[in-house]
């Protein structure tokens, strides 16, 4: 057999920064005048006839400085009984030497720009500042302590909405003594009403859990009622069956059903599966047109255009299922789709509902790979979380704050994050590498994009041993 022909290489245009520099940047103007304005020919006076302007991007490196605060003491010469002095300004680290800006700088560099604490310590040492990694780790812990209530408030906000997306992804962590990693779970819950101009502000929260069973999701959604948009994982179905007083309506993901048929096409080249994929594609084309319209407008278009397509699809699936082997992969895909049909077509009756769970799945893209594992015995622990595709920052805090299971992570213009990497330090250099290419895929198909939303909290408390930190 001859060698398979090589695929022709596609030439992509080179990516270059062409055009003017951003207007929001301050301009430092320097005018270069000629040495003389006397004409070299006739010695007459020259006048300005034009100018050439060029711009260069410049940077002012970070400047370390000392904020010296002086609090004079005043006493009375007459009675010598009273001493008056202004109160000391509070600091993010009580009794510490770090300002709020410095703590934010360390946290941002760690989680947004993937600079492990040991590297930051080296950078500070280059400027003559000797900072132990344990000190830096304590600052990270303290920042998380301050953000805890904000994180819990965000989770409360998300779970108070009538419609919530939920998803989970495996999160391996080192488990010393077992000889292998332990697969834990990172749960993501999100709200985003922008596709139908709803009132809820977009937000996403993350929760670390040891498992992905029903108890894990039940503990997170205690008291939640409303629409829960999820994939077909069995734990969600058990959650609904076990609820008595707080009803939850499950809405399933059409994209997950489509993937089943995509897998069939890849393995068997099934024309029927390709036909089903094309049919689902028509529904997505309709969704692209109605995205950004009001819920009523979306519902009207869906009823008129998408409903006939879905009705015809269901009839086609039932006919095909009766004609093919029940053991085939195509039959499995059809059974999955028909078994979740009520939740898959829920978007036809409610303009607020999305056709899939891509909104929350996109929040999982920035999660690190197995190269970023946090040993449970280390200081900054067995959590590793997102970031950014979002402006988020991961930190942990001591369980002394009431033993809460969550730890805060927040993103904002000056405190951002972009993918998990551990805080172990130089002794585990491979674990300190960036875990995923998360800054690409700019707007993620119209949903959450890079640096959206500006408020993202992640977390779980695991405790922190500052002695062993980073």
- Dump pLDDT digits (tens) for 147-201: 889 999 999 999 999 999 999 988 887 788 888 888 888 899 999 999 999 999 9
11 falls in which pLDDT band (50, 70, 90)? confident
In a domain, 64, yes or no: no
In a domain, 416, yes or no: yes
Q: Is the pLDDT of residue 118 over 90?
A: yes
Contact (CB, 8 A) for 371 and 445? no
Higher local confidence (pLDDT), 372 or 349: 349
Which DSSP string do the residues of 104-134 spell out, in sequence order?
A: HHHHHHHHTS---HHHHHHHHHHTT----HH
In a domain, 337, yes or no: no
- pLDDT at res. 114: 79
Q: For residue 200, what are the CA distances in angstroms to 164, 191, 197, 453?
A: 11, 7, 9, 12
Cα–Cα distance for residue pair 322/311, rounded to 1 Å: 17
Q: Is the pLDDT of residue 98 over 70?
A: yes
Contact (CB, 8 A) for 391 and 411? yes
Higher local confidence (pLDDT), 141 or 366: 141
Number of domains in the chain: 1
In a domain, 35, yes or no: no
Tens of pLDDT along 225-282?
A: 999 999 988 999 998 888 877 789 999 999 999 999 999 999 999 999 999 999 999 9
| Nearest residue to 466 (alpha-carbon basis) of 183, 208, 117 | 117
Domain that holds residue 172: 96-253+357-470
Higher local confidence (pLDDT), 350 or 418: 350
0.75 cut: is pTM over it?
Answer: no
Tens of pLDDT along 271-323?
A: 999 999 999 999 999 999 999 999 999 999 999 999 999 999 999 999 999 99
How remote is the C-alpha of 387 from its chain's centroid?
4
- pLDDT at res. 113: 84
In a domain, 405, yes or no: yes
The DSSP code for 424 is -
In a domain, 414, yes or no: yes
In a domain, 137, yes or no: yes
In a domain, 399, yes or no: yes
């Amino acid at each position: 057999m001859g060698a398979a022909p090589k695929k022709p290489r596609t030439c992509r245009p080179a990516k270059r920064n062409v055009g003017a520099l951003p207007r929001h940047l301050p301009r430092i103007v320097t005018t270069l005048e000629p040495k003389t304005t006397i004409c070299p020919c006739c010695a007459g006076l020259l006048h300005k006839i034009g100018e050439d302007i060029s711009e260069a991007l410049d940077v002012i490196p970070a400047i370390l400085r000392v904020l010296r605060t002086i609090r004079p003491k005043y006493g009375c010469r007459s009675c010598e009984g009273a001493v008056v002095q202004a109160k000391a300004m509070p600091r993010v680290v009580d009794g510490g030497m770090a300002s709020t800006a410095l703590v934010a700088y360390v946290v941002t560099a760690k989680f947004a720009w993937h600079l492990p604490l040991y590297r930051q310590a080296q950078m500070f040492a280059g400027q003559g500042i000797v900072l132990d990694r344990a000190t830096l780790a304590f600052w990270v812990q303290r920042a998380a302590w301050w953000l805890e209530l904000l994180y819990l408030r965000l989770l409360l906000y998300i779970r108070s909405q009538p419609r919530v997306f939920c998803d989970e992804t495996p999160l391996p962590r080192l488990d010393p003594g077992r000889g292998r990693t332990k697969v834990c779970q990172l749960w993501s819950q999100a709200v985003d009403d922008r596709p139908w101009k709803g009132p809820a502000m977009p937000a996403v929260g993350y929760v670390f859990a040891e498992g992905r069973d029903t108890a894990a999701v039940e503990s997170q959604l205690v008291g939640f009622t409303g629409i829960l948009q999820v994939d077909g994982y069995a734990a969600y179905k058990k959650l609904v069956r076990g609820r008595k007083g707080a009803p939850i309506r499950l809405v399933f993901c059409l994209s997950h059903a489509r993937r089943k048929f995509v897998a069939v096409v890849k393995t068997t080249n099934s024309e029927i599966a390709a036909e089903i994929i094309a049919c689902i594609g028509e529904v997505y084309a309709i969704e692209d047109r109605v995205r950004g319209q009001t819920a009523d407008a979306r519902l009207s278009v869906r009823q008129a255009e998408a409903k006939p397509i879905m009705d015809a699809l269901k009839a086609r699936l039932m006919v095909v299922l009766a004609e093919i082997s029940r053991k085939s992969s195509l039959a499995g895909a059809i059974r999955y789709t028909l078994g979740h049909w009520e939740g898959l077509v829920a978007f036809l009756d409610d303009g607020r509902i999305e056709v899939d769970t891509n909104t929350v799945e996109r929040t999982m893209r920035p999660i690190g790979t197995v190269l970023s594992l946090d040993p449970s015995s280390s200081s900054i622990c067995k959590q590793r979380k997102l970031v950014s595709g979002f402006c988020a920052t991961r930190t942990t805090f001591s369980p002394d704050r009431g033993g809460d299971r969550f730890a805060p992570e927040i993103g904002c213009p000056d405190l951002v994050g972009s993918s998990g990497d551990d805080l172990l330090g130089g002794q585990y250099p491979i674990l300190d590498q960036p875990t995923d290419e998360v800054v690409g895929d700019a707007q993620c198909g119209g949903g959450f994009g890079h640096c959206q939303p500006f408020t993202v909290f992640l977390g779980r408390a695991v405790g922190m041993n500052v002695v062993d930190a980073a």
